[in-house]
Chain A
Amino acid sequence: MMAVQIGLLCGLVVFSLLAVLLRDILKAAISLAVSSLLLGILFFRMDAPYAGAFEISVVAGLITVLFIVTIALTKAEGDVRESRLAAWIFPLFFVVFLVIDFLVMRRLLGQISSVPSSAEAGTFGQVLWKNRTFDLVAQVGVIFAGVFAVLALFRKRSKHE
């Protein structure tokens, strides 16, 4: 059972990697969408169906659509060439990082004892409504902010500054 999780995790990392490295932005955006999909499936397997569903529909869906729209609107003449340096610096840094990460994580987090939290009661809806109510007010705030930001940035200019 763990094997599937590990497989999904590897897929997640690989596709994110591809999203960074691919030259063609469209392919990079699609690669990002695939890795979101894998993350969503991972969430389902971790008993987090709501997060999984949300991740897939919003990140793999909505955000990807936004990316593709942006890419379509910004077809630049000639691609932006990424630097050649990145080709070999990257693996080097990655290896060094992995080694350090492994050592630090093992020592640092291996000794954690933590406060066990109380068993959770209720459904997701109940938790969302009762315990994290105020988050919803904040969500309204963020959505307002995003909507107005887009309105402001795309407004018709009658006079220029």
Chain B
Amino acid sequence: MSSAWFVYMGCAAVLLFLGLYCLLTMRNLIKLFIGIEILGKAVTLGLIATGSAKNSILTAQALAVTFIVVEVCVVATALAIIINIYRHTKSLDVRKLTQLKG
């Protein structure tokens, strides 16, 4: 595999780490969701980079485009939930969401 592929995948890994870090340490609900978005970027970058290295850039684009569509729907649903949570608790602090014991 070409060295360019490694660079891209390394970058995707960094973004992955960033996203997971955001999920683990942030407390604002919307910030938490930004973490998920960053994970999405990592995936898209990985897909296109792999397609580019394997000379199947068209298939990879089809995959990436479909993935972005999925991402949009997840974002819409999640933000709808967040807005509803806000209406209940008047706050976006995830520490307030501790009613269930888990």
Contact = CB atoms under 8 A, between A and B. Distances in A.
Interface of A: 2, 5-6, 9, 12-13, 16-17, 19-20, 25, 28-29, 32, 35-36, 39, 42-43, 46-48, 50-51, 54-55, 58-59, 62-63, 66-67, 69-71, 73-74, 76-77, 79-80, 82-83, 85-86, 89-90, 93-94, 97-98, 101-102, 105, 109, 112, 114, 116-117, 119-120, 122-124, 127-128, 131-132, 135, 138-139, 142-143, 145-146, 149-150, 153-154
A102 B75 CA distance: 32
Contact of B21 (A42, A55, A90, A131): A90
Interface residues of B, number: 67
Given A12-B15, A13-B15, A25 B28 contact: yes
21 contacts: A6-B7, A16-B18, A16-B38, A20-B21, A20-B31, A20-B34, A28-B34, A29-B34, A46-B52, A48-B52, A48-B64, A51-B65, A54-B65, A55-B44, A58-B69, A73-B83, A76-B93, A82-B31, A116-B54, A117-B54, A131-B62
Contacts of A105: 6, 9-10, 13
Contacts of B4: 2, 5
B55 A101 contact: no
Contacts of A143: 69, 73
A46 B48 CA distance: 8
Nearest to B42: A16
A106 to B, nearest CB: 8
A128 to B, nearest CB: 5
Main secondary structure of the interface of A (DSSP, over half): helix
B80 interface: yes
Contact of B90 (A76, A114, A127, A153): A76
